[in-house]
Amino acid sequence: MSARTRPRARVLVIDDQPRTAELLAREAPELEIQTVRSGGEARAHARSWREAAPVLEGRRPPDVVVLDLRFDLPDEQLLPDERALGESAAARRLRRERRDRQGLFILERLRRRRPEIAVLLTTAYEEIPFEQEALELKADAFTYAAAEEESGSGRLLVSRLRRILEERAAPQRTGRFFWGTSAAMRELRRKVSALAPTPMPLLVTGPTGTGKSLLVRDVIHPLSGRPGAFVAFDCATVPEGLLQAALFGALRGSFTGAVADRPGVFEAAADGTLFLDEIENLAPDAQKMLLTALNDGTIRRLGSAAETPHTARVVAASNAALAHAASNAALTHAASNAALGRRTAEGSFRSDLLMRLNPSLALELPPLSQRREDLPELARLTASAFWDNPRHRRAIASLVRAAGGPDPEPADAFTLAVSEREARDSASAVVFVLPGKAWAAMQRHPWPGNLRQFEMILADSLAAAVYAGPGASLDRGGRVRIPLDPRMLFDLLAGARASEPPPSGAGFSGFAGFGSGSAERPRASSVAGFRRELERSALRALFREAGGDFARMAERMTGSASAKEARAVRLRFNKLGLSARDEK
């Protein structure tokens, strides 16, 4: 995980036809198109998963995979099982489906083995029937449809590929906000770049710990170019009676204790950015006043009859899970925020205020469990931040001296190795060694507290290794090894799973089995029937708590929200005679 510069970005083309690889070689000579060996021959494209796998799993994996959707291949080269299908009508149907969707089969397998590699899925289909599945599998999608109209589609493919590489090469942190390179975050980056400089109010959504306030403070406010201050206001922490004064200011004598005129946060954020966190907790009266402030551009201090213009740009955040559908008719186009949608439907949050916050343009921060490909870089940056802390550095220096190593240099002198192989290959003077099993557990962990929780647990493990570990040792390569204790890490992960409250609006509040008495206990005339009813009840409860999102149900059940798991849950759900429409 040490930072190394690469002279050329590596691209692997997986396509049954050679033309994409030829085009890239011709139009983008700065890229290294990876060679695939098959049957003693070398070629610039892999025609199947079998040909691609050795490159993907080798020591020089690609930075980006360009993947076609349709593959005209014999059965024995088609995933998922590479077997002959026969010539029956059913076999022909299956063959056709496998060929038409082969890119998705490959993508699914690739994601399991190499989650960190960017994938550009290409298709000629105008309406990509598999777009949602591609997105769930964290791939960028490129359709030739628009490109075919006038200019050469291939050239546009090259420019799209270059953009992905540039985005991946961009700094992974802006201030303290972590971007990563997942497709969802690169899309968010493009959206933020477009929206931040505008004066329009914005809504940021995402579960707790995903970095909403950092995004507004370190990215949106600086990009806005506004000369005023960034002012953060947590709507959940101010008592209802004091909200109006806190937001809009108060005149002397307007309430007991108001001994002098006092500005509110709107005035403090003049010509700047006012960040309203946990907006869903705003009291009804304050919502009305906020709506007026947004609609008319004016505010009124408590105790004053005069309205004065304000110049703050409002960015609100909702500490809520993302949902892909809001049932309330007023929110159908918003379709972005389950908690706000629910509160609006209940009448506790004004729909006109939600609309004013441009929910259709909401900036959605995905939970960490949906961007696991970013974990290695996040771990590296967390370790860097630990390394850069002067107090920790002094402690590390004394460990290194005790082990007989040289004083560590500040710049890039350490590596966080997540396996013995990485530790052996490291060129750094100091290597923190995280055993492979512990790293695998971190990669599987659901991370309900998201980035904040990940950073905290890794930093705690590093601190334990430096301040309370067995010490450092000098290896044969002259590197100083500082081992992280896997047992402590497992304990921290177990504690995090047990103690972390579910994200508000996102969590699964009551699904903990049927022994509590609070849940309805199913009845049946046989043991098998009882088991079936039990499973039905469990799935129904989970369905309701997941807001009808099968991916979230799958994540809750298996720890994975992959399209495959979601499909399996959906199938089981239907097989038990349940209907998503009826349950909603």
Partner 1 sequence: MSQIGDFGLPARPPAPYAWAAMGVSEAAERLRHDLAKAIRFSAPEVPETETEALRERLHADVATTRRDDSGSQSAAEVFDAWRLEEGRHFAGALGRRVDDIASAIEEVRGLTVRLPSLSRPELERLDALTRRVASECRALASEARRDSRR
Out of 3, 6, 8, 19, name the contact with partner 1 by CB under 8 A. Answer: 19
Which residue from 383, 489, 476, 483 is spatially nearest to 433, judged by alpha carbons? 483
| Nearest distance from C-beta of residue 144 to partner 1, angstroms | 5
- What are the residues facing 234 on neighbouring strands? 277
Out of 13, 23, 323, 353, name the contact with partner 1 by CB under 8 A. Answer: 23
> Smaller CB distance to partner 1: residue 90 or 259?
90
Q: Is 313 in the site for partner 1 (CB under 8 A)?
A: no
Stretch of 18-26, 54-62, 113-121, 386-394 contacting partner 1, by CB under 8 A: 18-26
Do residues 265 and 233 lie in contact, with contact meaning Cβ atoms separated by under 8 Å?
Answer: yes
CA distance between the termini of the chain: 45
**φ and ψ at residue 56, rounded to 5 degrees:** -65, -35
Q: Residues 313, 316, 317, CA angle at the centre, nearest 5°?
A: 150
CA distance to 377, 434, 459, 540, per residue, from 396 (Å): 22, 16, 14, 52
| Nearest distance from C-beta of residue 197 to partner 1, angstroms | 29
Give residues 151-210 in contact with partner 1 (rule: CB under 8 A): 151-155
> Smaller CB distance to partner 1: residue 99 or 481?
99
> Smaller CB distance to partner 1: residue 140 or 545?
140
Q: Is 82 in the site for partner 1 (CB under 8 A)?
A: no
User: Would you tell me the crossing angle of helices 19-27 and 153-169 to the nearest 10 degrees?
Assistant: 70
Give residues 48-77 in contact with partner 1 (rule: CB under 8 A): 69-70, 72, 74
| Nearest distance from C-beta of residue 121 to partner 1, angstroms | 13
- Interaction pattern, residues 256-275, with partner 1; x per rule: CB under 8 A: --------------------
- What are the residues facing 316 on neighbouring strands? 203, 276
Out of 6, 92, 424, 444, name the contact with partner 1 by CB under 8 A. Answer: 92
Out of 30, 150, 346, 582, name the contact with partner 1 by CB under 8 A. Answer: 150
How many angstroms from the chain centroid is the CA of residue 133? Answer: 16
- Interaction pattern, residues 105-144, with partner 1; x per rule: CB under 8 A: ------------------xxxxx----------------x
| Nearest distance from C-beta of residue 314 to partner 1, angstroms | 42
> Smaller CB distance to partner 1: residue 151 or 237?
151
Out of 10, 16, 50, 160, name the contact with partner 1 by CB under 8 A. Answer: 16
Which residue from 132, 106, 120, 134 is spatially nearest to 164, judged by alpha carbons? 120
Do residues 315 and 204 lie in contact, with contact meaning Cβ atoms separated by under 8 Å?
Answer: yes
| Nearest distance from C-beta of residue 78 to partner 1, angstroms | 11
> Smaller CB distance to partner 1: residue 107 or 188?
107
Q: Is 96 in the site for partner 1 (CB under 8 A)?
A: yes
Do residues 188 and 365 lie in contact, with contact meaning Cβ atoms separated by under 8 Å?
Answer: yes
> Smaller CB distance to partner 1: residue 23 or 220?
23
- What are the residues facing 118 on neighbouring strands? 64
Give how many residues touch partner 1 by CB under 8 A: 31
Q: Is 89 in the site for partner 1 (CB under 8 A)?
A: yes
Q: Is 25 in the site for partner 1 (CB under 8 A)?
A: no
| Nearest distance from C-beta of residue 549 to partner 1, angstroms | 26
Do residues 43 and 18 lie in contact, with contact meaning Cβ atoms separated by under 8 Å?
Answer: yes
How many angstroms from the chain centroid is the CA of residue 325? Answer: 19
| Nearest distance from C-beta of residue 14 to partner 1, angstroms | 15
| Nearest distance from C-beta of residue 146 to partner 1, angstroms | 11
CA distance to 70, 85, 95, 374, per residue, from 88 (Å): 22, 8, 10, 45
Which residue from 181, 263, 262, 176 is spatially nearest to 221, judged by alpha carbons? 176
Which residue from 109, 27, 119 is spatially nearest to 68, judged by alpha carbons? 119
Stretch of 85-93, 228-236, 450-458, 509-517 contacting partner 1, by CB under 8 A: 85-93
| DSSP secondary structure letters along 249-314 | -B-TTSSTT--S-B--HHHHTTTSEEEEETGGG--HHHHHHHHHHHHHSEE--BT----EE--PEE
| Nearest distance from C-beta of residue 30 to partner 1, angstroms | 19
| Binding positions for partner 1, rule: CB under 8 A | 16-19, 23, 47, 69-70, 72, 74, 89, 92-93, 95-96, 99-100, 123-127, 144-145, 148, 150-155
